[in-house]
Structure 1
Amino acid sequence: MNLRESLLRGIYAYGFERPTDIQQRTLKPCISGYDVIAQAQSGTGKTIMASIAVLQQLNVDCKNCQALILVPTRELAQGTHRVVLALGEYMNVTCHARVSGVNIREDMKRLATSVQVVVSTPGRIYDMLERSALYSENIKMFVLDDADELLARGFKDQIYELLTMLSRTIQVIVVSSTMSSELLEIAAKFMNDPVQILTKREDRTLDGIRQFYVNVEREEYKLDKLYELFDTLTITQTIIFCNTCYKVKWLSEKLRAHNLTVSVLNLNMNAEQRNDAIKEFRMGTSQILLRKDRLEADTDIPQISPIINYDLPTICESYVRRIGRRGRFGRKGIAINFITNDEQQTLHDIEQYYNTQIQALPTNIADLI
């Protein structure tokens, strides 16, 4: 790929030896300056790919901002910031994560110094450009990372506004786990004949994830089945997904009453509380991380098996985002889905969407875990 030697040193020092499939297919057009749309399943190294593409094209002698990387959450911004600095360690790259919780004047002061790459959520970047704290003259790369999640969080208008504030010749790189009509709309309006690298739908479920279901007659019977699972199995740690914040709160109370230790992520928590919950789980203080979809990036959440869907996701695309991340980089994983009789069709829809089979939970599940 003719990557610069200092960048290769950072890549190898970070622990990577061979590029993943999406990295092999996407890096060349990215570092050649083409607009690119890359869609691949969670955990295949898309953020790493985008970071390498940015670092390869940086003019290291120019100390002004040359690349913007937009992400959906402050946690993902912090994680991507760490990745860029680690990969660019031998290039002496300067990178700044513009996140909430930092004094605006401190942010403006930092951006006034030599910052070559800025990672942020859309609103923070827009604010800095509006205040003229961030100059766009040298910005030549614009990356939308986790683009489907950005759109799901309602950032579409801000993304449009940002793109209109930047040069029409800027290189736009879009990476996403799914490909929606909204993403294609952005491509049509703001990208110049983009190279599209899209995985087939049936390739999105990661190898190594064994998927099972537990069928109960009615919703209220799920809790007893969950208790039974914990009483009969030795589960060191697990992540349980629910579809609503109310269900997360209700289930956390029930599980604690059953003498299980639970950390919770929900919409009503501030950034400090969410970070504390994740830290608690990472340290092993809690056995269960109970959460709803699209709350936090998984950057700082360890790879856990099994994953339990107490509720099946209502959107098929969310399924791989829940269970696919557990099998990233070849790690093996197990997913257990609780369904009622009314949810059998939803399970069948997920199987068809991903061209996969989800089997009834076997009696020897303890041996598998």
Structure 2
Amino acid sequence: MNVCLTDVYMRRPRERDNGPEGMEPDGVIESNWHEIVDSFDDMNLCEALLRGIYAYGFEKPSAIQQRAILPCIKGYDVIAQAQSGTGKTATFAISILQQLDPELRATQALVLAPTRELAQQIQKVVMALGDYMGATCHACIGGTNVRNEVAKLQAEAPHIVVGTPGRVFDMLSRKFLSSKNIKMFVLDEADEMLSRGFKDQIYEIFQKLPSSTQVVLLSATMPVEVLEVTTKFMREPVRILVKKDELTLEGIRQFYINVEKEEWKLDTLCDLYETLTITQAVIFINTRRKVDWLTEKMHARDFTVSALHGDMDQKDRDVIMREFRSGSSRVLITTDLLSRLHMWTYFYIELYLHKVRLVHHLC
């Protein structure tokens, strides 16, 4: 049985560089769009948005931002293969905000994400970047009070709605969320949404949008299901794809341990704690039952760990994530709620790299 040590991901100090971490600003990207803009100042963005970008800490756009923001704000449909940590969230957030009419009290952009946690993270980025514009953004997610959701949508009519497919579809179907003024539809982590069985809901949501709606799709990988979505929804899209030999993890050391028997894994994991100095770690497990089992075993050996999986109450999940981000919780045991590659098996290289980047960004 094989275990990849980056499944137990160790946090270490990082230096702030120009733009988001992950893909370097001069990274190689394959695209049918050849205009590259290497400065936010040269993108013809509104002054209030530029203030938000620089206040957020960005200095120079990452590779995907240099290529994807311009076609997005020009109204093209865009497909971007993007890993976590490459600046993909800011790419579509900036594009949405640039096209936003802050004076119009109506929802003008809709973003779908596969998980509640990702939707909330996107909301925070949008609010931060759009702070000087007076932009409003609402997270429309399951696990929250429906009555409060309806009241908020009707009273505020947020400029941007970020949500999970189930709750967004419900609000659209019941006409609590109006699609009349939606100009841009973003599918973030499209491959993950499709793997979770959201295909029909995504299709039905799209049918409720104006026919002129611009579509932006982001995906870590490009399986057949994602390509089918692009042919159904998109009109001559701009394609921005990371070349396979560019899917690397610069600056991250990785280790591989061959564990011959399932029952030896716990001892192997505990040995790592005695061998390494771990500031923070995430351990990925492929089932919720095993998360609970490992958490119990680690507690029995006097290790302080936290557990996170989809069966938990939303409020409990939020508390655990806040504790982990703040550093008060050092070790998090979780399922693919945070990633899509599991501790006990490995699938495609793109998914493995995506997972390590995601946790590097999280820690």
Do these two structures clear the TM 0.5 threshold for a shared fold by scoring above it? yes
Secondary structure at 2:253 match in 1: strand
**Candidates 205, 220, 245, aligned match of 2:248:** 205
* Conserved? CA contact 1:41–1:206, under 8 Å: no
Report 1 or 2 for greater relative contact order, CA contacts < 8 Å, sequence distance ≥ 6. Answer: 2
**Residue type of the partner of 1:14?**
Y
Distance 1:21 1:148 in 2: 21
How is 1:112-261 mapped onto 2 (pairs within 5 angstroms)?
112=154, 113-261=156-304
**Candidates 95, 101, 110, aligned match of 1:59:** 101
- Residues matched between the structures, number: 320
* Conserved? CA contact 2:141–2:168, under 8 Å: no
Distance 2:329 2:50 in 1: 39
Q: From the superposition, tell whether residues 49 and 281 of structure 1 become closer, same or farther in structure 2 (CA, over 3 Å).
A: same
**Residue type of the partner of 1:318?**
L
> 2:5: which partner in 1?
none
Deviates more, 1:10-19 or 1:210-219: 210-219
Distance 1:56 1:250 in 2: 48
Residue 103 of structure 1: how far off its partner (Å) = 3.0
Q: From the superposition, tell whether residues 40 and 257 of structure 1 become closer, same or farther in structure 2 (CA, over 3 Å).
A: same
Secondary structure at 1:166 match in 2: coil
Residues 297-336 of structure 1: per-residue CA shift (max 9 Å, x gap):
79xxxxxxxxx9752334544312321224449x9xxxxx
Q: From the superposition, tell whether residues 175 and 273 of structure 1 become closer, same or farther in structure 2 (CA, over 3 Å).
A: same
Q: From the superposition, tell whether residues 120 and 309 of structure 1 become closer, same or farther in structure 2 (CA, over 3 Å).
A: closer
**Candidates 293, 309, 312, aligned match of 1:266:** 309
Residue 91 of structure 1: how far off its partner (Å) = 0.9
* Conserved? CA contact 2:190–2:226, under 8 Å: yes
**Residue type of the partner of 1:70?**
L
Distance 2:262 2:279 in 1: 26
Residue 322 (structure 1) aligned with residue 339 (structure 2): no
**Residue type of the partner of 2:169?**
Y
Distance 1:56 1:280 in 2: 34
Q: Percent identity?
A: 53
- Root-mean-square deviation (Å): 2.2
Residue 276 (structure 1) aligned with residue 355 (structure 2): no
Unaligned runs of 5+ in 1: 299-307, 332-369
> 2:83: which partner in 1?
41
Q: From the superposition, tell whether residues 266 and 103 of structure 1 become closer, same or farther in structure 2 (CA, over 3 Å).
A: closer
Distance 2:101 2:339 in 1: 30
| TM-score (ref. length: structure 1) | 0.81
**Residue type of the partner of 1:68?**
L
Distance 1:254 1:134 in 2: 46
| TM-score (ref. length: structure 2) | 0.82
Secondary structure at 1:137 match in 2: coil
Residue 230 of structure 1: how far off its partner (Å) = 1.2
Deviates more, 1:315-324 or 1:15-24: 315-324
Unaligned runs of 5+ in 2: 1-42
